[in-house]
Structure 1
């Protein structure tokens, strides 16, 4: 979306996140006696900041491979990679990209990754590397001045999609079947019409997300309703559903989605303006996005990123400029555990979670 981009608790909360990092599956059945009953207090979990060496860069693109390896994409055409848990970061930015704004990255491993630059016309581009960022190949450059690409997502190492704001009244979708080496425009005839002013938010690389081999969801804002569109056939056909997240303004809507399977998903967002409240800034679905229910206790402010803790059926994280929150009941209630600024979050199968944001901030969650 143009307007954005060119734009402690201890006790149960602390133990829940710590357990999620150590063993995400245990969170689903975690029971903790009250402090009055004599439960020992454990240290609260926290984001352990890593020195990226780039305080001038805002990282809205993040792809965590495992506890050791993660990729960052940000302003000034910046792409960083670590393979030692964040102790050292290598600048692997594509040459000649200094004027671009990278907002999304999909890493398949320590050597293979795809990055998306956002913007009007030819500033929307996709690059791919197969050698850890030593060399890059530009695989897509937008030539339509009405298109503006926001985010991308992959089903597997070969199949993926990229999302543009509406062109001629409908969202535009690119598809790849070769890992991002080439892209084809999908027909728009089965895409629902966009609402007046509706678009995606290039805030965290999570306005387009997948689960499994064929299901994909895209999040919207800016229109009369904040909607989630779903496709069960890799973007060929779509249906749209309203969410309870407030919209009706260019700065409001759903900014990020997270699905742990094809049925259970989370939506977070709000109003990204710092001086505006964000009530009802989270919602959840148990039927693949056909219906959405508001969180009974949402995050206290706008959130731009979300991720399920690995191997957990009930625990997830949300992040934004004013803090990070945890849910341990599938998105019904959220509690803030950190007040630092992050824009995006990602968790991996080996039970690690990473976050990134403004002023070069990057961190890994520690118990």
Structure 2
């Protein structure tokens, strides 16, 4: 729209009045005083140009009103008065109108203005080079329609205030469905302004000790309240220390973390550390310190809050002297532990854990020379029955304080204090009830294979979780029997099962039962889930994961199940599965796969080298290697000369590899698998998981023993 409009007007001169702002519609009425018989002659008549006389010179144009406010969509009239040199009104003169910002308002030829958008602009009238005064216009939004506020929540206060504290409260309006409503204006009030005062923006000030109810009220009368407590005293803060290690070999670098400290009624302003070794104090919530010499040291944290109160905590740090280079032939040394052990993990050459059946969690601070049992399991429901205790199959720590142990029945326990307490995160209690409905609970409810002579269950009902690995303190995976996979993205606060249906995992190909089977020649019924037993997992990142396993050897029609590997790069939403070569896949060898490890690049991503090991117990071994990140796998023939299968694997680097398994078998390669040397274990029992902290310090979990080496096993 052209901002300039024109029209011939009859104009009068008005007495100028002070500026004013109009917020409601108004109408401007003009009265014309008639000229002629009976008309008043108390004032001169406006001059009317006629064709017989020359038009008077125009010296000024005045428009009214000079300031107004109108709503978007509203139309307001404006009038122009044209004056000659004598200051008298001239009628019948055409004026044009101009609006400065046509996006805000639109002016018509008669001088009426329509509000278009919220904003401000000016209006003028002109004839030739003569321009009127400016009229100021403000266009505002129409009044808001009352919002359907059903409730109001107040936030912003998590602890009592002290006298003089200020805090801003936040009011959130919600509808009947609990959804937040933006833009709601509330009125704030306090039941005791002398204790807590509050302004129109929700800023509350603690004036005196006591309590007051602060209320936010919407336009429709719905309100929300909270009680604000004001104190004139101060509670001291609580200091808490987390460390990356409590023991190790000198020089030992420890990261001390005080971020778990808290103040119940204020905020912590300073963190001061003393390390107990004569070094200067340190400052900061997180700090590194290196102990250069061996000894027992007491590290102390002092925290101070914003009102001067302090809190203190201490931890003991044990630093051992560096071990001399081990003599050749020191090999592997067993240490007896009362338990059938499966998993082992160390956070330093001296501090580690081993887990096993019958709720065994063992802990060492001297590299495995001595062990103590950690028996404080905290259940969130009914505890395990004495006859069917938790069986632990693996353990993993992200630092010296934080770890997880997994096992049967679908058991996941977490510690945040180095194992002093283990708290249940997930557990399947269905096997601890009367499953067969005979009115009694005994081994028939929870045991598949019962040894009557020894009163021992060699195979329990349900899911064993066999392996657990975390990418970091929040993202972890665990796998187990019947294809069960669980993952967590919040440090284990919640564990989510990965579906086993064909929408996520490819289903096995059709199969006809072989000769000799009771259903020989008959097609296997349709399979609705892919659930070979899973024994191992390697977590490269929160989203990239490898798993491995296989079903029982007595499966007569299990194409794609006997030996398998799975790979996901999207957190388990989709998978690529590899299976046994004898049924058309690429995984050669024998039996199932019990462990898998990939090398790591400098940035933590998966390297191109990976190993997967397994076999058929004491019958045949199997070791598979990939050099292209898992795209293709080949059997390492040099390792298949050994008859016993492998259960555990340590891949310290692409060159250094250890494998352990049935019959006390331990193999080591220092050239990436080109050649292997058998190491002496001194046992014929089954060896399970293998863990190496560095090329010298390693451990293997076994039946009633942990085997350790400080020489790489040689």
Question: What is the TM-score when the length of structure 2 is the normalising length?
Answer: 0.39
After superposition, give the CA deviation of every residue in 1:44-72 in whole Å (9 maximum; x if it has no partner).
351132343x2xx1111111212011111
Matched with 1:172 is: 484
Matched, 1:76 2:358: yes
Q: Which runs of 5+ in 1 are unaligned?
A: 1-41
How far residue 43 of structure 1 moved from its aligned partner, in angstroms, is 2.1
The 1:45/1:326 distance shift into structure 2, 3 A limit, reads farther
Larger radius of gyration: 2
Aligned with residue 236 of structure 1, among 551, 563, 573? 573
* Larger deviation, residues 333-342 vs 151-160: 333-342
Greater share of residues in helix: 1
CA contact 2:699–2:706 (8 Å) conserved in 1: no
C-alpha distance in 1, partners of 2:697/2:329? 16
CA contact 1:79–1:94 (8 Å) conserved in 2: no
C-alpha distance in 2, partners of 1:93/1:291? 44
Matched with 2:452 is: none
C-alpha distance in 1, partners of 2:484/2:701? 28
Aligned with residue 331 of structure 1, among 645, 648, 673? 673
Matched with 2:660 is: 319
Greater share of residues in strand: 2
Matched with 1:303 is: 646
CA contact 2:480–2:534 (8 Å) conserved in 1: no
The 1:331/1:179 distance shift into structure 2, 3 A limit, reads farther
Matched, 1:357 2:702: yes
Equivalences for residues 232-271 of structure 1 within 5 A: 232-242=569-579, 243-247=586-590, 252-261=591-600, 262=606, 263-271=608-616
Matched with 1:294 is: 635
The 1:181/1:295 distance shift into structure 2, 3 A limit, reads same
Aligned with residue 46 of structure 1, among 299, 313, 331? 331
Matched with 2:495 is: 183
How far residue 139 of structure 1 moved from its aligned partner, in angstroms, is 0.5
Q: Secondary structure at the match of 1:179?
A: coil
CA contact 1:245–1:254 (8 Å) conserved in 2: no
Higher RCO (CA 8 Å, separation ≥ 6 residues): 1
* Larger deviation, residues 88-97 vs 257-266: 88-97
Q: Which runs of 5+ in 2 are unaligned?
A: 1-326, 378-382, 432-461, 510-526, 552-557, 580-585, 601-605
CA contact 1:245–1:269 (8 Å) conserved in 2: no
C-alpha distance in 2, partners of 1:178/1:349? 30
After superposition, give the CA deviation of every residue in 1:172-199 in whole Å (9 maximum; x if it has no partner).
3211122223212234432232578962
C-alpha distance in 2, partners of 1:144/1:235? 26
Matched with 1:156 is: 472
The 1:350/1:92 distance shift into structure 2, 3 A limit, reads farther
Question: What is the TM-score when the length of structure 1 is the normalising length?
Answer: 0.74
Tell me how large the CA RMSD over aligned residues is: 2.6
CA contact 1:266–1:285 (8 Å) conserved in 2: yes
How far residue 298 of structure 1 moved from its aligned partner, in angstroms, is 1.1
C-alpha distance in 2, partners of 1:230/1:291? 12
